[in-house]
Chains A and B, each alone.
Chain A
């Protein structure tokens, strides 16, 4: 099964009520898979007239308390930013999949990690965050999907799965968790279900009273601090004795891990930190690792975006070096290994 299909089936197994999407490469397998399976399951599938409409259909379904998602790729996700800002403001849960491609603009259809900033720093207008996952394989797609829905529901927040063209298209053996919806989540008593026998519910993102939006922002920030405390996830390997620590996510993390293993075979002590949640970012883990003064090497398929968060976490304690390729250029094990070897050559004194 390819990554795109694994995500789709995992979402269906997690109790997805409605999927809304618009065609764009390299995520078309999600939409096609949903059109078949959601119909079989007698659930809702709508191919929208635009990504703008898709994210607003998600908004509508989410406002009535349903489990809902959309998927797209970079240019389409840009169009959705207005809706994502509204979802964040109205505190509506949903899952948004971004199978990233080369940008900016129409770019190309090759894999990229160029949407990191857009995903983890908000993306649309206003002070907000979405929970952002950066899975690195087809199995992890399947495992993270139910978690993404559960956390979205628990915290009333949009969750983003940040994938790329390789992961979306790549085929791997996968076991999809079945009937994976958590039944212990809080009741959605805020949802719009018709006001029969109760006061009206209102889902909104406009507060005109003096200081009301300021207070709403403080409330959102308090929620974000809770998420940072409870939901930060990352994977560490061979970090304790490492002279060099590679920080990478998604497909780059798998490439980096292989390069690290090859470096170890050559006697270079390399470890890896792989953020699984990109927001909240594993700042504490990286900060702690920086105390032992390794060199940090950040590898991304971009011109360097996550590296800024690594630098903030390291806070000048030790050098942070970046290597990456933008616009659909793919990072290879050989190149990462070469970069590791470069870092082990001590600069000559003049």
Chain B
């Protein structure tokens, strides 16, 4: 499987450094657009949706006017056919300003969706303080991706509640509940049709297979969580699932193309 076999879109990646720096030098390592494009080429991935982890930190909004989303904006500008930008809103800011930034991100910088990392940003996804952001996403018709699987802030049910309140917003449950909350994912997806999942970091193949059978492969997006995981390893997880070839095609790229409105 690769470029010649069909579209592959990685729905969940980051610009970031090591999660586990062993030395001060390792802490200086940064994986950005250059490294990502090389890795995408190596793994036969056509496009990738990326967010920077910088804007997850409150302190970044003191340092940069867009909190560190600038790096992704630059990548979109430089590589519009490869990079799908996810804008991380400032959950600590005044919502009037924040929603203005979201609109600017989509209209001026061509971001295709939003990313919220409730655990890293210290807010639960269903907190009403975030509603103006979701209202804006509904108006702009862009999806919102969440980290899921880390209690207490990133549970599948909190994310499903957002989806129920904002049915126009495609809500992407990143990591499919990870290794602790994976059993909540299918019940949560049953609650609202606009709940989508991405497969990054989800090694429980049986869950992906059951989700495809019960909820539908059209609501699953392939993702790697690069640079913490390798794209080709994560593609292999999808290829190894006991699902149809058509389902694999949907998962590996076609669903993401629809949700992020990528025109061929």
Q: Do A and B bind each other?
A: no
